[in-house]
């Protein structure tokens, strides 16, 4: 499942540089997450880094883009060319 940034976003700019897949960008009013690039940091970190740094807790899972961990690993592999360890 990719993540989504809600209207509670205060445009503090801390999430965008933390995303290893460059899935976060400035939208018209708030930051947005490209669901085709978001892997919830699977393959990079144990937890989504944008969620870790967000001061207002406005980055939940996106119910419109449901993916399990295996699907996130496939997306990670396609985005990075790296294989799943193990």
Classify residue 83 by its DSSP letter.
P
Q: Percent of the chain at pLDDT above 90?
A: 95
Model confidence band, residue 86 (pLDDT cutoffs 50, 70, 90): confident
Token pair of 14 as six digits: 């801390």
What's this model's pTM, rounded to 2 decimal places?
0.93
Q: What is the pLDDT of residues 1-15, one digit of tens each?
A: 799 999 999 999 999
The CATH topology of domain 16-80 is: Alpha-Beta Plaits (3.30.70)
Token pair of 83 as six digits: 């294989």
Whole-angstrom Cα distance, residue 65 to residue 4? 9
Classify residue 24 by its DSSP letter.
E
CA nearest to 5, candidates 76, 54, 70 = 54
Give the chain's mean pLDDT.
96
């Amino acid at each position: 499942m990719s993540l989504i940034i809600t209207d509670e976003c205060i445009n503090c700019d801390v999430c965008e540089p933390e995303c290893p897949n460059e899935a976060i960008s400035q939208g018209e009013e708030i930051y947005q997450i490209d669901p085709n690039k978001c892997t919830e940091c699977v393959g990079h970190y144990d937890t989504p880094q944008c969620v870790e740094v967000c001061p207002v807790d406005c980055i939940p899972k996106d119910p419109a883009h449901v993916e399990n961990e295996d699907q996130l690993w496939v997306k990670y592999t396609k985005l990075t060319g790296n294989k799943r360890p193990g």
